[in-house]
Structure 1
Amino acid sequence: MKFLKTLSVQVLLALALGLAAGAAVAWGGGAGGARVVEAVEAVGGLWLNALRMTVIPLIFAVLVTGIAQVADAAATGRLAGRAVAWFAGLLAVSALTAIFLVNGLLSVWPVAEAAAAALRAGAETPLDSAATSPDFAAWVRSLAPANPVRAAAEDAVLPVVVFAVFVGFALTRLPDGRGRTLLEVFQALGDAMIVIVRWVLLAAPLGVFALALGVGLRAGAGVAGVLGQYIVVASAAGLAVSILAYLLAVTVGRVPLTRWAQATSPVLATAFATQSSLACLPAMIERSRDNLGVPPRIANLVLPLAVAIFRMTSPAVNLAVCLFVAHVYGIEPTPLQYAGAVLVALAVSVGSVGLPGQVSFIVSVAPICLALGLPIELLPILLAVEVVPDIFRTLGNVTGDMAVTAILARDEPEAAVEARISRQA
């Protein structure tokens, strides 16, 4: 069967088999079986470390090139600059939405303490591995790293992100295209890291099976309920962003609800089937022009730009993942940690656009976890069930892309004239 050949399905099956096998060993395997599981689990630890080694260089490389791309786009004209401004504002709203939604949802529907304790034990991550947050003065000072290399070595993600943002903007300001050579170097570095991550992810079924085996040994099959709760929480964050984009299109873009639903329904069907905003681009352009009356000049500029640098659901769902991990570990981030996490989430949402799904999950979520002072040992397990939340990510992304396009078209004189002609016809 063809669907069994996809990596996502293989990883999901590996997770289920690992949990079941670990639980079986815990039930009747004895001390010998437990030692075998622990030996196999070391392979999972090796696989996790192979993923971790690429996070800092990859996030730095993609941020530098992504920020330079945003700066270049904003400088190409008034319409592109307005689009970038809308993208930035909506990404910030997306991040804040996740913080309030997820914390509110988990206060009403908390992670069961017994299940959380079992999952923590399965991941073998001590609670004191979380970093403490400095006071405000120290936090402000830390934003500009005195030694970027040391910050990277210590997994101090926020200073690394700030340094990468400055480097990205600075390279676009060098005269005579001198920054282009260095940008190409960072592009090559990022591409090389992506190749390494793809190599590592080829072994994802084995790595996830090995990690899940240890989780199943210590946590048992009861961890399935926690994973189901995670799927609901992460998907709810993506759904909330989709609803927000809908409301913006109807209220700010002034598109009648029925017309908007008719225009977006084929695009959403494509998004559901492909989980790829890029695959939805032709349908988004066609529907925006033909059904929403967006002038081709606007649709042909804004929508490709949105696909290139804008993922509206990225901050929301990535923060939802991290906040769920925080609730599992019983960690309450401080306001300063939240502020740092939002800044990191906004930055990586730009840098991770265009990366493959499994790669973008690691490069986007791990830095936010580190900014919040959270362990990342649970991320491979959550990656295995990312198939469902990823659908809601894509639905929200394409809805946001079309909503911004409709809003920008509303204020363009060309769009107003064409809309009036359409109504008269």
Structure 2
Amino acid sequence: MLRSLSVRVLIALVAGLALGAAAAAYGGVEVKRVIEVVESVGGLWLNSLRMTVVPLIFAVLVTGIAGVADAAATGRLAVRTLVLIVVILTFSACFSVGFAELFYAIWPVGGTGGAALKAGASASPDLAKAAPNLIDFVKGLAPQNAIKAASEDAILPLVVFASFFGFAVTRLPDARRRSITEFFDSVGEAMVTIVRWVLWAAPIGVFALGLGVGLRAGVGAAGEIGHYMAAISLTNIGLTLLAYVLALAVGRVPFGRWARAVAPVQVAAFATQSSLACLPAMIERSRDDLGIADRVTGLVLPLSVALFRMTGPAANLGVALFLLQVYGVHPSVGQYVGAVFVSVATSLASVSLPGQVSFFASIAPICLTLGLPIDLLPILIAVEVIPDIFRTIGNVTGDMAITAVLGRGETSAPDPAELAKA
């Protein structure tokens, strides 16, 4: 069990919080100074993650857009799949905003617990940026200087520029397009390698940061971390239920048939926490239980696993929405629109990234778009193992739901001879 990075990071977080809280309660001035020195190691680790965000996001957006364009060129079914994916991902992000409004109205972030968690961050809450007005927001969508935007963490203009750049690359002759996409693919791979190196030291970094959180926040932060896990897990469960509605109401699949088909896949998702590992089961259940034609399952499901995470925008934006409650930041409508756009773009672009890499690469840009510090993200990534179970279940359910929708009217009865062999 200790071979799992997620488990080691979680243990490091608990140990850091406990030792930091004990030092706050019983330690002297010298002990607290030692902890502050150790916490600087956590700050170094966090900055090592931060330095990869801009080049990684730019690289994966350019290569991701090129990949989408290549997929769209394979035929009408691929185009219909891509359009449905973008629509559902956009709805996923909007659902997260609506769900958060309701959830925090019923169960608000506690004043004491929120203040404790905020006090535990290594950055000052004053780093939260003021919401721009509508005119400044519209003017700022296109960066005057892309390099300056990157250096100032102006993520939304950078994402807009990267999107235009990626689409422009798809219009180049094949040889030039391949050379550019190969370059940015190499840049992305290099950044992922750096992030993997940094994440290898995650238990040390999270332990050091946890010491600081425990020292300043005491045990008051623990309850809000549980609050966070409940918020993200329930967001994922809500989207999973909406995938059921999509399959039943739009795909017109009878409930019993749908439940029999999706249940084994959900069990596999719970066990593996990997949509890719569930692909064979999804193809088999869609073909045999739902009777969807091979031409549909053979294209839609691999394309969905490659580009589609139904819970991605909702869960990633949900993390930022939780931090809004912690910091008491009130973004403008334009910032919310920008955050929805960034959440969809980064979800599409970062699907191929490893779990812990995609967590930081997808959520940090959303936080920066909303004017939020990202210093609490390493604490939240330590407990991501629990919400990630519900993320994966929602993702595979969504994959099968859009397959049922796109396969409607193109179903074929299963071959009895093939069923007898199974």
- Quote the residue 1:236 is aligned against: 234
Structure 1 gap segments, 5+ residues each:
none
CA contact (8 A) 1:248 1:403 kept: yes
Alignment match of 1:128 (pick from 114, 126, 129): 126
1:173 lines up with 2:171 in the alignment: yes
CA contact (8 A) 2:56 2:188 kept: yes
How many residue pairs match? The answer is 417
Secondary structure of residue in 1 paired with 2:353: coil
1:141 lines up with 2:117 in the alignment: no
If the length of structure 2 is used for normalisation, what is the TM-score?
0.97
- Quote the residue 2:249 is aligned against: 251
State the Cα deviation string for residues 11-70 of structure 1 (Å, max 9, x = none): 000000000000111111110110000000000000000000000100000011011111
Q: Which amino acid aligns with 2:259?
A: A
1:10 lines up with 2:11 in the alignment: no
RMSD (CA atoms):
1.3
Alignment match of 2:50 (pick from 49, 52, 67): 52
- Give every structure 1 segment of 4 or more consecutive aligned residues whose post-TM-superposition deviation is greater than 4 Å: 419-422
1:225 lines up with 2:223 in the alignment: yes
Alignment match of 1:329 (pick from 327, 338, 358): 327
1:264 lines up with 2:232 in the alignment: no
Q: CA deviation at 1:144?
A: 1.3
CA contact (8 A) 1:131 1:374 kept: yes
Correspondence 1:356-375 to 2 at 5 A:
356-375=354-373
Q: CA deviation at 1:176?
A: 3.6
- Quote the residue 1:286 is aligned against: 284
CA contact (8 A) 2:250 2:405 kept: yes
Counterpart-to-counterpart distance in 1, 2:168 and 2:345: 16
- Quote the residue 1:402 is aligned against: 400
- Quote the residue 1:195 is aligned against: 193
- Quote the residue 1:378 is aligned against: 376
Counterpart-to-counterpart distance in 2, 1:183 and 1:306: 21
- Quote the residue 2:293 is aligned against: 295
Alignment match of 2:79 (pick from 78, 81, 88): 81
Counterpart-to-counterpart distance in 2, 1:82 and 1:177: 28
Q: CA deviation at 1:170?
A: 1.2
Q: CA deviation at 1:420?
A: 10
Secondary structure of residue in 2 paired with 1:4: coil
Alignment match of 1:317 (pick from 312, 315, 327): 315
Correspondence 1:157-168 to 2 at 5 A:
157-168=155-166
Aligned sequence identity (%): 60
Counterpart-to-counterpart distance in 2, 1:335 and 1:43: 37
Counterpart-to-counterpart distance in 2, 1:240 and 1:358: 23
- Quote the residue 1:391 is aligned against: 389
Q: Which amino acid aligns with 1:237?
A: T
Counterpart-to-counterpart distance in 2, 1:166 and 1:149: 15
Counterpart-to-counterpart distance in 2, 1:411 and 1:132: 51
Counterpart-to-counterpart distance in 2, 1:87 and 1:160: 23
CA contact (8 A) 1:63 1:165 kept: yes
Structure 2 gap segments, 5+ residues each:
none
Q: Which amino acid aligns with 1:8?
A: S
If the length of structure 1 is used for normalisation, what is the TM-score?
0.96
1:64 lines up with 2:66 in the alignment: no
Q: CA deviation at 1:419?
A: 4.7
